[in-house]
Structure 1
Amino acid sequence: MKIISIQVNAIHLPFKNPFTIAYETYKVMPSLILKMETDDGLVGYGEAVPDQHVTGETWESTLSNIKNYLAPVVLGENPFNIEKIHDKMNAVLHYAPTAKAAIDIACYDLMGKVAKQPIFNLLGGAYYQSLSITHVIGMGTNEEMIKEAKSAIDQGYSELKIKVGNTPREDVQLVAEIRKAVGPKIKLRLDANQGWKQTTTALQALKELEKYYIDWMEQPIIAANRVGLAELHQRTSIPIMADESIHGAEQLRELISLNAIDLINIKLMKCGGIYPAQQLVHQAQMAGISCIIGSMIESSISTAAGAHLALSKKNVVANELGSPLIFSKDIAPMMYKKNKLFVPQQPGLGIQVNEELLKRLSIRGEEISSSL
């Protein structure tokens, strides 16, 4: 079996409502949907959702990287040769993990379809039966965020992630009001997306936040300041999670050596796909660090890929794979019930892509074919 063609559709996924974090407000989410075909007629799907603030990749550069560098070197390969495929991609293009993730996910989709198994069975089998979803609340006014928190609880969610990153005083007031509104039993997680920037600013906030029973504090300061994360880790009782600070094995090794974190947020778009994400899970487990599977706000394709990984790994203690719920249109259905995501049991990713809707949402397309 050989890969003979790769098609990429550049699309905009529309949100039901604008989504705001510390560094950006999104009205649509730019995404690249990759369709990989083999010489025996099988099709696998992948996705790339770049974020220039995190990996330095843009929508346009990711499309170019796939077309001009990555697709040509994987044409003719067997999708099961995933380590070799990553090695070939790394040889022609340094970094660019989001572009590589799209190819990686499509390869796994094909592997599962050939083996007639869902991807999680290729990763060690199901450790969990279903996944509890954390509801993520984007930045807004205190009143808007409290209203959304209450609504999420009414819908059955028991885990909330609150986007912060204003001044410490504003963020502490917000968390105090949300904790009062939802009660003591609801799990609260905070994410500043580097918004507090400096260690001293973050420490001011964390000292005040300790009394509100926070599960963990995600990326309070700028990504490059890993020494600063270590200082925070040593001076607060709130567990510290790295997101933008951890992309691959090298950053994780540094964070482990600094004793800087309790948890990491693994995103397929940051690390290059399922294959390198598995390695991060195992590396973290050896160091006693827990993992969550996050999202760059992705369609059902990458969401399904992350879900298969999360379902199969004991060291993945939570996930944020609810992005399809906040789009007004998505290219394939996923099964959610209250706060649960039920991972597809069909071969590969296990989802059925709506090709007609994909065409309607497409802004640009590219196809790279082989004569093999």
Structure 2
Amino acid sequence: MNIKQIETFQIRIPLNKPFKTALRTVTEADTIYVKITLEDGTIGYGEAPPTLVITGDSLRSIKYCIEEVFKPLLIGQSIKNIHQLLEKIHRAIVRNTSAKAAIDMALFDCLARSANLPLYQLLGGYRNKIETDYTVSVNRPDEMAQDAQEYVSQGFSILKVKVGKDQIEQDIKRIKAIRERIGTSTTIRLDANQGWSVKEAIYAINKMEELGLDIELVEQPVIANDIEGLKEVTTQTHTLIMADESVFSPVDARRVLETRSSDLINIKLMKSGGIYHALKINHMAETFGIPCMVGSMIETKLGITAAAHFAASQPNITRYDFDAPLMLSDDTIYGGAQYTQNIMTLPDEPGLGVKTINKAYIL
């Protein structure tokens, strides 16, 4: 079960429609795939998309980190000692969490394949079906309402609405327009992507509560490093507040949990550096009685499948944001998680259940 080879591939695939948040606009998905091959022929896959405005990782930095830093540490090593290997990569370089996540996924994929188990079962096996939300990009109120109506007609019962790009009153208009168009039976979550000040967040959330817009939660309303401000928003509003960019590592999670600065935590493998640290964050949150969501960046079905295996394995993870592959013009892998509208089903095949890469999108 020793590692024989580590390869990287760059993937590029267009989005069906531009994805807009308070931080960026994306029209195509660029990402790095990693393939680990063991001496017995077992193969494991991982993915690392660059998200400069959140993780700071670029295509070049991801590729360099995997090929020049991690590869020399891992070749010839046994995946039976997976925690030892993961400790090595986390200590070898600071940050670079997306590159770490890609290696982490591929190692866990290899281990689960060697054990002849789907990864979600190896990690705990709590469930094999989960419901994803669908994201409404930030645009004009009427366009967002139209998009929301379209996603509901496609079978999605939970919408994650992007806000925080401009004036706070415009965000309130956006949510009013969406709620008026789709009615009251659909769950609405907001994601400000750090786009509000503390006062703006408290004003906007209280105003939406007064208007009866029925918002389930608000994700990362303020800048990531303002934990005191995040706590103030949490204590001054009734709506659930979720930390996202404020929590990358278990150390970040401890700070948020000990200060009771949010009601929920959004775990992303690209922030945590993979499943190894994501499990730690979730277990810490569970100890504090704080549920978690698992989300994603603009990833292909490879990275999302790994995140879904992790999320499905843990009872404390109660919300899922895995719509990114549905935004892409095609699949970049064969196999992996399967979508039936808003429901994702994890495969029974060993590991991630990924069969191979769609070579049409390899650059």
TM-score normalised by structure 2 residue count: 0.96
Q: Deviations over 1:12-71 (max 9, x none)?
A: 221111111111111112200001111111111111112111122112111111111112
**Corresponding residue for 1:188?**
188
* Kept after mapping to 2: 8 A contact 1:50/1:269: no
Partner of 1:352, secondary structure, is strand
Q: Deviations over 1:67-96 (max 9, x none)?
A: 111121111112232211121112221121
* Kept after mapping to 1: 8 A contact 2:295/2:321: yes
1:353 paired residue among 329, 353, 356 = 356
**Corresponding residue for 1:335?**
338
Letter in structure 1 aligned against 2:324: S
Letter in structure 2 aligned against 1:163: K
**Corresponding residue for 1:140?**
139
**Corresponding residue for 1:366?**
none
Q: In the TM superposition, what are the counterparts of 1:236-315 in structure 2 within 5 Å?
A: 236-315=237-316
Q: CA deviation at 1:353?
A: 2.2
The unaligned stretches of length 5 or more in structure 1 are 364-372
**Corresponding residue for 1:205?**
204
Looking at structure 2, the residues matched to 227 and 82 of structure 1 have their Cα atoms a distance apart, in angstroms, of: 37
Looking at structure 1, the residues matched to 70 and 152 of structure 2 have their Cα atoms a distance apart, in angstroms, of: 44
Partner of 2:37, secondary structure, is strand
* Kept after mapping to 1: 8 A contact 2:142/2:177: no
* Kept after mapping to 2: 8 A contact 1:82/1:275: no
Looking at structure 2, the residues matched to 134 and 275 of structure 1 have their Cα atoms a distance apart, in angstroms, of: 25
Partner of 2:347, secondary structure, is coil
Alignment coverage as a number of residue pairs: 358
Letter in structure 1 aligned against 2:326: L
TM-score normalised by structure 1 residue count: 0.94
**Corresponding residue for 1:98?**
98
Q: CA deviation at 1:2?
A: 0.7
Looking at structure 1, the residues matched to 34 and 142 of structure 2 have their Cα atoms a distance apart, in angstroms, of: 40
Letter in structure 2 aligned against 1:143: D
Partner of 1:310, secondary structure, is helix
Letter in structure 1 aligned against 2:315: K
The 10-residue stretch of structure 1 (78-87 or 293-302) with the greater mean CA deviation from structure 2: 78-87
Give the aligned CA root-mean-square deviation in angstroms: 1.2
Letter in structure 1 aligned against 2:249: G
| Percent of paired sites with the same residue | 35
Q: In the TM superposition, what are the counterparts of 1:161-240 in structure 2 within 5 Å?
A: 161-165=160-164, 166-196=166-196, 198-210=197-209, 211-240=212-241
Looking at structure 2, the residues matched to 18 and 71 of structure 1 have their Cα atoms a distance apart, in angstroms, of: 35
Distance 1:78 1:355, change over 3 A: farther
Letter in structure 2 aligned against 1:213: D
Looking at structure 1, the residues matched to 69 and 333 of structure 2 have their Cα atoms a distance apart, in angstroms, of: 28
Q: Deviations over 1:105-133 (max 9, x none)?
A: 001111111111100111111x2341111
The 10-residue stretch of structure 1 (250-259 or 50-59) with the greater mean CA deviation from structure 2: 50-59
* Kept after mapping to 2: 8 A contact 1:70/1:93: no
1 or 2 for the larger relative contact order (CA 8 Å, sep ≥6)?
A: 1
Looking at structure 2, the residues matched to 284 and 160 of structure 1 have their Cα atoms a distance apart, in angstroms, of: 24
Q: Deviations over 1:207-255 (max 9, x none)?
A: 1122311110001111010110001111000111011110011111111
Partner of 2:355, secondary structure, is coil
* Kept after mapping to 2: 8 A contact 1:134/1:157: yes
Looking at structure 2, the residues matched to 223 and 50 of structure 1 have their Cα atoms a distance apart, in angstroms, of: 19
Distance 1:296 1:319, change over 3 A: same
Q: CA deviation at 1:188?
A: 0.5
* Kept after mapping to 1: 8 A contact 2:333/2:358: no
Q: CA deviation at 1:355?
A: 4.4
Moved over 6 A (4+): none
Q: In the TM superposition, what are the counterparts of 1:16-35 in structure 2 within 5 Å?
A: 16-35=16-35
Distance 1:136 1:355, change over 3 A: closer
The unaligned stretches of length 5 or more in structure 2 are none
Looking at structure 2, the residues matched to 84 and 5 of structure 1 have their Cα atoms a distance apart, in angstroms, of: 18
Q: CA deviation at 1:102?
A: 0.5
